[in-house]
């Protein structure tokens, strides 16, 4: 009778440890998902800001202003060659 109780208790304890391990893993994975989600959102924001910055830097008006500051002018009609 004593060995049956020991076996039942052993099974109960093993189940308890397995359940606890599963819960700990679920919480750990949840934290990892939250961390990765935050990282993704930060990178998405950075990407959006970089796209805006690239558009600003490539703006024709800005490039024209920089060219004029460097002493560049628009080409004369005889300097333009059309490539076909």
Q: What is the pLDDT of residues 15-35, one digit of tens each?
A: 999 999 999 999 999 999 999
What secondary structure, in 3-state letters, does the chain show? CHHHHHHHHHHHHHHHHHHHHHHHHHHHHHHHHHHHHHHHHHHHHHHHHHHHHHHHHCCHHHHHHHHHHCCCCCCCHHHCCCCC
- pLDDT of amino acid 1: 81
pTM for this prediction: 0.62
The ranges of the chain with pLDDT < 50 are: none
The residue extents of the domains of the chain are: 2-70
């Amino acid at each position: 009778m004593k060995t049956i109780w020991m076996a039942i208790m052993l099974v109960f304890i093993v189940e308890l440890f397995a359940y606890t391990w599963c819960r700990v893993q679920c919480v750990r994975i949840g934290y990892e998902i939250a961390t990765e989600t935050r990282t993704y959102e930060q990178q998405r924001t950075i990407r959006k800001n970089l796209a805006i910055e690239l558009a600003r830097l490539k703006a024709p008006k800005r490039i024209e202003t920089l060219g004029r500051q460097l002493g560049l002018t628009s080409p004369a009609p005889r300097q333009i060659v059309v490539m076909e």
